[in-house]
Structure 1
């Protein structure tokens, strides 16, 4: 029976006991043990034909729910989600905030539960749990901006769940199946503009796309993540969007529309990231860019490409968490993450500086760092399929990533001009979390077989070939030269206090403004109606009194 327990239960139900433990040291050990126990349990889960370990029937056997399904795709996401839960919890220990502890562990557990769900109803339940639990990581910052951003975030996440539920209902009526499996179009089937066949599958696709931050559906990410607590942003960066990537890889591999959607995702965030002043928001745009690589891999749909998506999700969680950790440490010590207010912090935060540089090298796909061994899989897959334009876009986006995350983040936070800020180094728990994450970035980069051996499909791929290494180094070199040239000629956008307008302006400013305008106009019209009505009524009563009065 123990073998049938979903790993998610360990984190979700274990989190409920956290507030009852009043000794902070015992509480910390207990919380760190939860993802460790979940990971060990995951290692010993039996593998069966079809991977189904636990099913239950409901409503008299009318529906069958698969609460635990284990295969190689779910395992690779399960492994990294447990690692991320451990590192995020370790990073959060300084906060002594039970709200963050409980919500973070339930959030991580819900994402893990969704990964091992075998039916769409179970997926939906965990999908909504991730939305509800994660918003408390934003509200835990306890500022007006965090509350407003959290409300907008919650609306988008719940809307994604409602769309998912509607899609499940339509899909079940059309097919009679609740299986969480392939939902794309078979060869020869008539499809819509997204390459899908039914209303249900299209609704599910869009629901997944909202959580994956597709273009025009993306701004909840840049709006909410920078407003969360230091630890909250680390949690958020690991689970929500990668759960969506997993769902797309499970349900829509080979859907060609994902290629152009993903390619667009790799490009447009670059320009916003370059002009953005808030360095945590820069990383949020960068996150969007990296998701694009994964989406392209799913759209290509070959074994190499899907391996690339799974590998890049794994490595991305590590290096993006490391970058958010370093900027969270800066925010915690200085009270700001704005590039215009920082600089020279390498003098007082040397360890955080080193860890940030490792994260920057990883996201930039420097050889010997983990971003290189995962990103090259997807780029190679595009080349093997003859997708020349996509291949070129991915290379250009790779140069852009180095520009805004590999250089801009560490440069403006720790170097650039000396802001004169002198603070303590990050707390020990933060340093340990960053150190372990940095070590994993390097180890998986130097020894890629560690990651390659757990990918969904077997393959014979060597990332460290002469063409791969030289091509990537050329891209990095030209990007670095471009940054230096723009800096020296003062053409690079300066780090200034500013507001970057993105499509979220529509629902943050424009629509509320329209509602307020309509309210004001409506009130004026209503006052005018009351005024004129009163005058008319007074005139009528005056005539009545004059005619019939005594």
Structure 2
């Protein structure tokens, strides 16, 4: 059994399922996707610790699969999130191509976590950006331009990371992880490159710009993987922490939670909360302690699940009512009681309320920062917690409690959608009620942190009360906030640069399309003449392509062998 677990990396199952989804009927593709993603969870949990799969390629040793204390829990929770995301895509009528692109993106994310060398990570990193861009573009319409801007941001971040890895290799002579990352410029470039995917303040605009645009199933996938892969990579780049990184985490928490409060579109609001919650993970890594690493991985694990659930709720609102604007929603607690109940689970989890998963993970992050002596940073994270409670009190009130400002048509919920929402809510409750289920799988050391100690419960009660009181006090002022892209006003240079780059790429693409169409037209005319003279001529090109593909596969097998 162990030989089987070690002979093939788990991420291969995702990529094979993606290939099946391209060619199989929709229902078969989704069934294979659910099975392939689900099987990777026991696959990872049963694999022996420190097991590896190493191949030689292009003169370098590449570790395609390494299970260690940091990679195992992150990859395993990715497997759970992927299974739920595929099932949700099926329930919300996403097409077969969306399933295929999503499986490819999630498979590359799992690969990025499990590879054991920086060269392989670079390949996965770039493929992560490519598959995400294609997933967004596939929706078409208003998702196309944000998809281009997404590509521009991640092209820049990827280039910085490539430069960092090259300098690191020059300094230490190996791509292998586990020897630390070279100090100085390599680390600075790596942190900045990873920071693009993390959504560092000033580099974050792509998150709220992109995530609300595609199909709701694609939003669930994007929310769960890109930034969390970056959290994992950051833990590899600065295993001993960094004060600047820690403070950037605090800035992400405060800035993004403030921006979230101003949003009226549910998925944009949730997108800003991705940046904010990732800020807790960044701060925990920045403190550079074992407890900080444990807190970062714990919060990553709970966040993937409850944030995915929140995006599922947002998708259910859009799927059943046709809108996700808080200015138009209302009264859905009575008309969509199951969705409301699931929303409460996810909202209480992200708010860190006792009994839910965010309470045990966020508490561990705060304790790690407190033990390190970062009083000011600790207060930044606490204030961010107040803003989080305020945000989700706002969503709950406007979407589910108040009377809708205008009549809403609510379509019936498919049984599959209700089932997925219920199943997806279970981990956010289980990890909250039984913290050892989470803590037992973490790297580092929790330091004996007891989340249900009286002092911890008192802190959370004060934060929750402050957030609810803030919403009650500011509700009328919040209601007057216009439906505007506030971040575009705050970051005009970044927005204009990304937009100009996207426009340039679109223009170049149109010129290339025109040139290609002309060339193909001329070539087709010539081939038609050739075919009339030689009936086998048209088949020759197809035969040549098949032979070339077969040779390529044979060379790949020989190389891996």
TM over 0.5: yes
Given that residues 274 and 493 in structure 1 are in contact (C-alpha distance below 8 angstroms), is that contact kept between their aligned partners in structure 2?
Answer: no
Matches within 5 A, 1:187-336: 197-253=183-239, 254-336=241-323
Q: For 2:70, what is the secondary structure of its paired residue?
A: helix
Task: Give the equivalent residue in structure 1 for 2:555.
Answer: none
- Separation of aligned partners in 2, 1:43 and 1:486: 47
Task: Give the equivalent residue in structure 1 for 2:398.
Answer: 412
Given that residues 265 and 289 in structure 1 are in contact (C-alpha distance below 8 angstroms), is that contact kept between their aligned partners in structure 2?
Answer: yes
Task: Give the equivalent residue in structure 2 for 1:526.
Answer: none
Structure 1: tracts of 5 or more residues without a match: 186-196, 517-550
Query: Is 1:132 matched with 2:135?
Result: no
Task: Give the equivalent residue in structure 1 for 2:108.
Answer: 110
- Separation of aligned partners in 2, 1:442 and 1:330: 22
User: Cα distance, 1:506 vs. partner?
Assistant: 2.4
Task: Give the equivalent residue in structure 1 for 2:153.
Answer: 156
User: CA distance change for structure 1 residues 341 and 252 in 2, over 3 Å: closer, same or farther?
Assistant: same
- Deviation readout 1:302-359 (Å, 9 max, x if unpaired): 1111110000000001111111110111111222211111111223211111111111
- Separation of aligned partners in 2, 1:290 and 1:126: 24
Task: Calculate the aligned-residue CA RMSD, in Å.
Answer: 1.9
Task: Give the equivalent residue in structure 1 for 2:540.
Answer: none
Q: For 1:56, what is the secondary structure of its paired residue?
A: strand
- Deviation readout 1:436-490 (Å, 9 max, x if unpaired): 1211101110001101110013442211000100110111112111211222xx3
- Out of 457, 464, 478, the residue aligned to residue 452 of structure 2 is 464
- Separation of aligned partners in 2, 1:214 and 1:148: 22
Given that residues 21 and 97 in structure 2 are in contact (C-alpha distance below 8 angstroms), is that contact kept between their aligned partners in structure 1?
Answer: no
Query: Is 1:101 matched with 2:99?
Result: yes
- Separation of aligned partners in 1, 2:336 and 2:112: 38
- Out of 8, 18, 21, the residue aligned to residue 21 of structure 2 is 18
- Out of 347, 356, 368, the residue aligned to residue 355 of structure 2 is 368
Given that residues 67 and 117 in structure 1 are in contact (C-alpha distance below 8 angstroms), is that contact kept between their aligned partners in structure 2?
Answer: yes
Q: For 2:487, what is the secondary structure of its paired residue?
A: coil
User: CA distance change for structure 1 residues 271 and 294 in 2, over 3 Å: closer, same or farther?
Assistant: same
Given that residues 290 and 444 in structure 2 are in contact (C-alpha distance below 8 angstroms), is that contact kept between their aligned partners in structure 1?
Answer: yes
- Out of 13, 27, 30, the residue aligned to residue 28 of structure 1 is 30
Task: Give the equivalent residue in structure 2 for 1:37.
Answer: 39
Structure 2: tracts of 5 or more residues without a match: 504-561
- Separation of aligned partners in 2, 1:207 and 1:501: 21
User: CA distance change for structure 1 residues 477 and 261 in 2, over 3 Å: closer, same or farther?
Assistant: same
- Separation of aligned partners in 1, 2:27 and 2:376: 54
User: Cα distance, 1:139 vs. partner?
Assistant: 1.9
User: CA distance change for structure 1 residues 93 and 515 in 2, over 3 Å: closer, same or farther?
Assistant: closer
User: CA distance change for structure 1 residues 512 and 206 in 2, over 3 Å: closer, same or farther?
Assistant: closer
User: CA distance change for structure 1 residues 424 and 292 in 2, over 3 Å: closer, same or farther?
Assistant: same
- Separation of aligned partners in 1, 2:94 and 2:269: 28
User: CA distance change for structure 1 residues 57 and 80 in 2, over 3 Å: closer, same or farther?
Assistant: same
Task: Give the equivalent residue in structure 2 for 1:529.
Answer: none
Query: Is 1:54 matched with 2:53?
Result: yes
User: Cα distance, 1:184 vs. partner?
Assistant: 5.2
Task: Give the equivalent residue in structure 2 for 1:8.
Answer: 11
Task: Give the equivalent residue in structure 2 for 1:77.
Answer: 74
Query: Is 1:480 matched with 2:468?
Result: yes
- Separation of aligned partners in 2, 1:433 and 1:477: 31
Given that residues 10 and 44 in structure 2 are in contact (C-alpha distance below 8 angstroms), is that contact kept between their aligned partners in structure 1?
Answer: yes
- Deviation readout 1:400-437 (Å, 9 max, x if unpaired): 11111x21222222222323213024333222222112
User: CA distance change for structure 1 residues 184 and 513 in 2, over 3 Å: closer, same or farther?
Assistant: closer
Of 423-432 and 287-296, more deviation after overlay is shown by 423-432
Task: Give the equivalent residue in structure 1 for 2:343.
Answer: 356
Given that residues 148 and 502 in structure 2 are in contact (C-alpha distance below 8 angstroms), is that contact kept between their aligned partners in structure 1?
Answer: no
Query: Is 1:501 matched with 2:487?
Result: yes
User: CA distance change for structure 1 residues 125 and 512 in 2, over 3 Å: closer, same or farther?
Assistant: closer
User: CA distance change for structure 1 residues 96 and 472 in 2, over 3 Å: closer, same or farther?
Assistant: closer
- Separation of aligned partners in 1, 2:358 and 2:499: 41
User: Cα distance, 1:232 vs. partner?
Assistant: 0.5
User: Cα distance, 1:234 vs. partner?
Assistant: 0.4
Given that residues 340 and 496 in structure 1 are in contact (C-alpha distance below 8 angstroms), is that contact kept between their aligned partners in structure 2?
Answer: no
- Separation of aligned partners in 1, 2:332 and 2:57: 58
Q: For 1:64, what is the secondary structure of its paired residue?
A: strand
- Separation of aligned partners in 2, 1:510 and 1:70: 40
Higher Cα Rg, which structure: 1
Given that residues 54 and 67 in structure 1 are in contact (C-alpha distance below 8 angstroms), is that contact kept between their aligned partners in structure 2?
Answer: yes
- Out of 164, 169, 174, the residue aligned to residue 172 of structure 1 is 169
Task: Give the equivalent residue in structure 2 for 1:523.
Answer: none
- Separation of aligned partners in 1, 2:60 and 2:469: 60
User: Cα distance, 1:217 vs. partner?
Assistant: 0.6
User: Cα distance, 1:509 vs. partner?
Assistant: 3.9
TM-score by length of 1: 0.86
Query: Is 1:441 matched with 2:443?
Result: no
Given that residues 152 and 498 in structure 2 are in contact (C-alpha distance below 8 angstroms), is that contact kept between their aligned partners in structure 1?
Answer: no
TM-score by length of 2: 0.85
- Separation of aligned partners in 2, 1:513 and 1:283: 26
- Out of 372, 383, 389, the residue aligned to residue 396 of structure 1 is 383
